[in-house]
Structure 1
Amino acid sequence: MQAEAKLIKALQSPKDRETAFRELVSCYKERLYWHIRKIVLDHEDADDVLQNTFIKVFRSIDRFKGDSKLYTWMYRIATNESLSYLKAKARRNNVSVEELKQQQLGQLESDVYFEGSAIQLQLQNAIASLPEKQQLVFNMKYFEDMTYEELSGILETSVGGLKSSYHIAVKKIKAFLDQNETI
């Protein structure tokens, strides 16, 4: 039995669930954290969303049918949780999601958990200028090196549509960086 199938079986077994869940968290927490962090930008928010994601995974694991890989299913949950979190936080602050992300980008430079250079900050600004779907596709393809097939499972979009979104996102980022080039 392959490792993922064995883990899923253990997660769905009341007797083995807690041990298997600790293994699942250990295997995926870092990858999911960075995926979430690229969406919500703020470290504390990313931690909150990661915790919410694992709670939802734990509560929903019995309904996992195995139609996709386990990590694809968890990434879909993490993506949806991240987007919902941003929308709720924007509503609480009486701003749009775009305004919230701009505020967070402004705070990124002073974030003790951000170790990026000025160039990385500029790239983050370029990514933030993209529509939400293009941001997701670009981050997962460029930073996480996911295949279009994996992206299709997570974002529930056709491979052709994802290729187009990524290509357009790359062009927009290049244009943004060219326009905002600092010497």
Structure 2
Amino acid sequence: MTSIDADIDISKTYTELLPELGSYLYRLTCDKEVSNDIVQDTFVKVMEKQDQFNGRSSLKTWIFSIGTNLAMDWLRKKKRWSETAQDEAKSLAQSDPHYRAALMDKSQNSPSGAFDFKEHINFCFTCISKTLPLDQQVALILKDIYDFKINEISAILGSPEGTVKHWLFLARQTMSDIFDRRCALVNKQGVCYQCSELNGLFNPKQKQLKNVFQAVDKKDLYTLRTRLVKTIDPLSANGSDLEDTIMQILRKAIDD
């Protein structure tokens, strides 16, 4: 294969991976503008470093490794989110007419302003994953949402497979514990009850979703959540504009 052929092959693969890579980077950063920038920077790095691709991993793993490293460099400069981040966003939206108007505008006027019940699960999953240590968050999303294998995650993060497995165990345990405490679908004291006013406006099917979750054995709830999250592309889903607006309010509320 000539260098020109290699350029075309790598560029073609990158283009094919772009939707998946973009949604992955958005889940990590929760910032559409930042994730778009990292997507572009990833392409530049991929083309600059194509001679360094040695075939020890798949081209997809190699490209995701570059994007992940760029995202983690950015994320290390940011603080991890607290469990109360969604509460703080709710308080800001309710107290500031500007933000409440922005939410209503997206909900009523944007073609991507309808928050599907699965998108509600996706939004909460993304927010809670931001409370994890960074390595755990990345490993969890790669494995449980994008179906990367342990050895691929090991290559992406440059860490032993045993360490990756340990991170996944801790991350899943933490996610499940937080959901058990705070999710109104399984706990009446959950944050969704505290946000009932917003949910009534943007997630009218919450009762339907609650019935689904209460019919599932508690030990299987995490798997159900990840199964639902996998079906959502946060950048093109029905409520993608609304989610992005909520994320902007959330980042403002926690000074992120």
TM-score by length of 2: 0.55
- Tell me the distance in 2 between the aligned counterparts of 1:82 and 1:162: 18
Q: What residue is the counterpart of 2:248 in the other structure?
A: none
Aligned equivalents of 2:183, 2:9: Cα separation in 1: 49
| Deviation readout 1:63-88 (Å, 9 max, x if unpaired) | 2222322221111110011122334x
Q: Match of 1:98?
A: 80
1:151 aligned to which of 150, 153, 168: 153
Write the distance in 1 (CA, Å) between the matches of 2:53 and 2:123: 38
Deviation for aligned residue 1:168? 1.0
Could you tell me how far 1:143 is from its partner in structure 2? 0.4
Among candidates 55, 69, 77, match of residue 80 of structure 1: 69
State the match for 1:171 in structure 2.
173
Q: Does 1:27 align with 2:16?
A: yes
Matched residue SS, 1:172? helix
User: Please, which moves more after superposition, 114-123 or 41-50?
Assistant: 114-123
Provide the residue aligned with 1:37 in structure 2. 26
Q: Tell me how far apart the structure 2 counterparts of residues 153 and 123 of structure 1 sit (CA, whole Å).
A: 25
Tell whether the 8 Å contact from 2:26 to 2:35 is kept in structure 1 after alignment. Answer: yes
1:118–1:24 Cα change, 3 Å: closer
User: 1 CA distance for matches of 2:36 and 2:148?
Assistant: 22
Considering Cα pairs closer than 8 Å and 6+ residues apart, tell me whether 1 or 2 has the greater RCO: 2
Alpha-carbon spacing, 1:80–1:28, altered in 2? closer, same or farther (3 Å): same
Q: 1:162 to 1:119 in 2, by over 3 A?
A: same
Structure 1 CA distance for aligned equivalents of residues 36 and 183 of structure 2: 33
Provide the residue aligned with 2:134 in structure 1: 132
CA drift at 1:129: 1.1
TM-score by length of 1: 0.75
- 1:50-75 per-residue CA deviation (whole Å, 9 max, x = no partner) reads 00000000011122222322221111
Tell me the amino acid that sits aligned with residue 16 of structure 1: D
* 2:52 paired residue number: 63
In structure 2, distance between residues paired with 1:132 and 1:83: 8
Q: 2:141, 2:170 → 1: CA distance?
A: 13
Shift of 1:146: 1.1
**Larger-gyration structure (1/2):** 2
The residue matched to 2:159 in structure 1 has which SS? Answer: coil
Aligned position for 2:214 = none
In structure 2, the gaps of 5 or more residues are: 94-101, 189-256
| 1:49–1:78 Cα contact (<8 Å) kept | yes
RMSD: 2.9
Shift of 1:171: 0.7
SS at match of 2:80: helix
* Separation (CA, whole Å) in 2 of partners of 1:20 and 1:122: 37
Displacement of 1:17: 5.2
Counterparts in 2 of 1:108-119, with a 5 A limit? 117-119=119-121
Report the Cα distance in structure 1 between the residues aligned to 2:20 and 2:142, rounded to whole angstroms: 11
Amino acid at match of 1:97: K
Shift of 1:98: 2.3
